[in-house]
Structure 1
């Protein structure tokens, strides 16, 4: 495996140096259950749009800020970031004031966008594959879109699955599952986010996220 493949795989471990946990209600290596009802194209469309943006920026030799605008628009379309943030914080989220939630969500969005832009910088040459069909999620009517991201010499690449929730604005990503063991991004972030909130409050977590954005932009 090339150094590019190793770097790409490392970039997919999304978070703040987090403890890795399996997704709640998801059995690692469970066989896929074919989803019923929802048209696969509608459910996977946000993931397809996100991957199109990531492919575009890794071939665009433009500034970090310009690439962030491209990825930011795709993240806004693909994700329910409020739901992801809520899951990443846990019960403590309910006690936050509306103003704190708004400020924290803005910082979390910037962090999410910057992390993607840093992981898929120009020359990354990642290949994005969305598997046909869907899985039913154990949670409500959620669906799972299964994909792979890999380099040319490591195809099909790292499994990456997206838990999709349908609301008034359409299908949105509410969690990301990494690898064969299906590590939940939200669950993995929860211990880091919760401990930072407990020690430094909302301002402390925002400071950590802003610092991460600065680090990503300097990579």
Structure 2
């Protein structure tokens, strides 16, 4: 097994610390070159934009901050981060003061970007592939875009599925399902976030996210 595969495995993270390893024997996939050249649907275009940003970042030898700008543009285009954070916090999110929501959302955005930049650092050479077609989500109106991320010696790699929701600004990612078992990233984060909120409130969760960003930037 190459160091690139090990690095990629270490980068696929659930919540604040759980790691998911790639699975083998997955369904047919579209090679990355075809996925990039095939016309994107409205639902899959945000995922392709995110993958394009991650691919650009992993082939850039610029600083962590500069790569964060590249990935940040992709995250902003692809995600409804407010919806992801709401799902990650749970019902308590609705009762947060607007100022607390804004601060927490900014910290969550920084955390999301830093986690991606750390996972797909220069030399990772991850390959991003997308299955053709869309899957209907059990939640009314949502769609699922199925993809894989892997290294050359572990293709097709780990299944990652994106739940897409239609918003006034277009289709956006509201959750990521990891692995063949389709573990919800929002649900995993909710488990982490709930205990932190219970013990330290919003300020405590922001502090944890900010510490994680520093850790990622030093990897």
Indicate whether the TM-score tops 0.5: yes
Is 1:134 matched up with 2:139? no
* Contact 2:13 2:19 survives alignment (8 Å): no
Structure 2: 5+ residue runs without aligned partners? 21-26, 28-38
Deviations 1:149-190 (A, max 9, x none): 000001101000000000110000000000000010000010
Task: Provide the C-alpha distance between the structure 2 equivalents of 1:199 and 1:158, rounded to a whole number of angstroms.
Answer: 34
1:41 matched to which residue of 2? Answer: 41
| Consecutive aligned runs of 4 or more in structure 1 exceeding 4 Å deviation | none
Question: Once the 2 structures are TM-superposed, how far is the Cα of residue 14 of structure 1 from its aligned partner?
Answer: 3.2
Structure 1: 5+ residue runs without aligned partners? 21-30, 32-38
Task: Provide the C-alpha distance between the structure 1 equivalents of 2:97 and 2:17, rounded to a whole number of angstroms.
Answer: 27
Matching of residues 116-195 of structure 1 within 5 Å? 116-195=116-195
**Normalised TM-score (structure 1):** 0.89
CA RMSD in angstroms comes to 1.6
Deviations 1:75-101 (A, max 9, x none): 001000000000001111111111100
- The number of residue pairs the alignment matches comes to 202
Question: Once the 2 structures are TM-superposed, how far is the Cα of residue 5 of structure 1 from its aligned partner?
Answer: 1.1
1:9 matched to which residue of 2? Answer: 9
**Normalised TM-score (structure 2):** 0.89
SS at match of 1:43: coil
Task: Provide the C-alpha distance between the structure 1 equivalents of 2:162 and 2:60, rounded to a whole number of angstroms.
Answer: 25
SS at match of 1:66: helix
Task: Provide the C-alpha distance between the structure 1 equivalents of 2:92 and 2:47, rounded to a whole number of angstroms.
Answer: 29
